[in-house]
Structure 1
Amino acid sequence: MVEVVKSRRERMREQASEEIKAIALRLLAAGGPDAITLRAIAREMGMTAGAIYGYYATRDELITTLISDVYTSLVDRVEAARDAVPADDPAGRIVAWGEAVRDWAIAHPAEFRLIYGDPVPGYQPPPGGPAVAAETRACSGLVGLTAAAWPHAKKHQSGGDTTWSEFDADLVAHVRASFPELPPAALGLALRIWGRMHGLVALEVYGHLVPQSRDPAKLFHLEMLDLVRSLGL
């Protein structure tokens, strides 16, 4: 395989693009979504605002890139945590996924808020959303965890009257193609698992949990243990 060597100009362009994204995330962390402007980024880089347009044509293009990169980073982390646990340990894999979500979110609170919380004023995402590939991986991962647990979980779950019509059509099509053996109740369970993983994390990231709990990591771990017990694992 022939290695492609990038030119100095290409390397410098990549470095500048990465610096733009890093500054945008710092602005987000310091001032919230309103603080992300191409003019502010240009000022920090010592460039003219017009020069930034050579890298990102619009602020929306930059925001889309940020969301995609951030979401991909999160999915990389949770997939690696899951895969470090044997496939025949569905409980361990669920706990590992959840713990990885929290660890990443606490280390990257601004990024967590970017993809799961604060909307960026005026931002118009592209058709299909800003991070389709990452969202699909996250969905497949969570439904896959549920599918592995379903043989044990189904007898502990209500929702036998759940129908596919209760869910988004595109989501249903993806799940039925990837996991044809799962009933609609299992998809509902996957969404509830997602909710339990993200609930305490969101409270902690937004500062609503720490005053009440001196050990939020322990609280979250106990929630994950309770979750897998509720699945019969």
Structure 2
Amino acid sequence: MSRDESEPVVPSRRERLRAETSREIKAIALRQLADGGPGAISLRGIAREMRMTPRAIYSYFPTRDDLITALISGIADSLAEALTGAGRAVPASDPAGRLMAWGGALREWALAHPESFRLFYGHPVPGYQPPEDGPVEMTARRVCRDLTGLVAAAWPKARHLQPEDTDWSDLHPDYVAKIRADLPEVPPAAAALALRVWGRMHGLVALEIDGHIHPVAANPAALHRAEMLDLVRSLGLT
């Protein structure tokens, strides 16, 4: 008897155990990152902690680069889901609300996943070579496209913030190629402004995750919200 295609595929016990082991490996790797920085991620160290042989753990991740790529890919998907989901929960007719939702979602995600935030936005992992045009690149491109689209929606009121003579040559060719392919109607000045908006959204969050905000601010959430409100107003939005 053939299986009804509408029925969900139930993983086998072997597949469930393998998925669980893979999650545990990645969780330990993130803990290594938190304890010793990017250079501390070690497959052999993980194998010792899990009482596995190196050969066994290499059947899950043949190299450290494979493990780091899997970590970053999962992080990118989680972050993109949080940001785009928050933005799309607000009507497109409310670009100010969407930007506020983006900023709040970025901070909430970072506070909930500080090690992931550091791996994704911190210093490069020594010796790691990310694959070109992999899932991480595609997810980052989606996030970039969505944020640039939000800024472009505010562009008629925000054009005074960016010099009108801004040219595509002022931006990195890779960034230009992505924007012109995904959002061909966006002018170079708006694309440049999107980078500045991202810098403001990201800046306070990075300082808070690295422990630089708490010694000087009693209420980091209020500080971040004030920065986001000022950003929205500077774009001419309400």
Normalising by the smaller structure, the TM-score range is over 0.9
Query: Taking every aligned residue pair, what percent have the same amino acid on both sides?
Result: 61
**Secondary structure of 2:154's match?**
helix
| Residue of structure 1 in register with 2:235 after alignment | 231
Give ranges in structure 2 of 5+ residues lacking alignment: none
Q: 164, 175, 181: which one pairs with 1:171?
A: 175
1:196 and 2:200 matched: yes
User: Amino acid of the residue matched to residue 164 of structure 2?
Assistant: G
Q: Does residue 1:123 correspond to 2:106, yes or no?
A: no
User: How large is the RMSD of aligned CA atoms in angstroms?
Assistant: 1.4
- CA–CA distance in 1 between the matches of 2:133 and 2:183? 22
Using the TM superposition, give the Cα deviation of residue 50 of structure 1 relative to its aligned residue in structure 2, in angstroms.
1.7
After superposition, residues 52-201 of structure 1 pair within 5 angstroms as: 52-128=57-133, 131-154=136-159, 156-201=160-205
Unpaired runs of 5+ residues, structure 1, are: none
Q: CA deviation at 1:128?
A: 4.1
> Conserved in 2, the CA contact under 8 Å of 1:82 and 1:96?
yes
Give CA deviations for 1:104-157 in whole Å, capped at 9, x if unaligned: 111111111101013222212222467112111111111111121112212x32
- Quote the offset at 1:7 in angstroms: 2.3
Deviation of 1:34 after TM superposition, in Å, equals 2.4
TM-score by length of 1: 0.94
* Contact persistence 2:147–2:194 (CA under 8 A): yes
**How many equivalent pairs are there?**
232
1:7 pairs with 2:12? yes
Q: Hey, which bits of structure 1, 4+ residues long, moved more than 6 A?
A: none
How far off its partner does 1:169 sit?
A: 2.0
Q: Which letter does structure 2 place at the counterpart of 1:85?
A: V
Deviation at residue 102 of structure 1 after TM alignment = 0.8
Q: In the alignment, residue 215 of structure 1 is paired with which amino acid?
A: N
Rounded to whole Å, the distance in 2 between the matches of 1:198 and 1:5 is: 40
CA offsets per residue over residues 33-62 of structure 1, 9 Å max, x none? 222100111112111122110000100110
Q: 1-side partners of 2:198 and 2:188: how far apart?
A: 16
Give, in whole Å, the separation in 2 of the partners of 1:56 and 1:19: 12
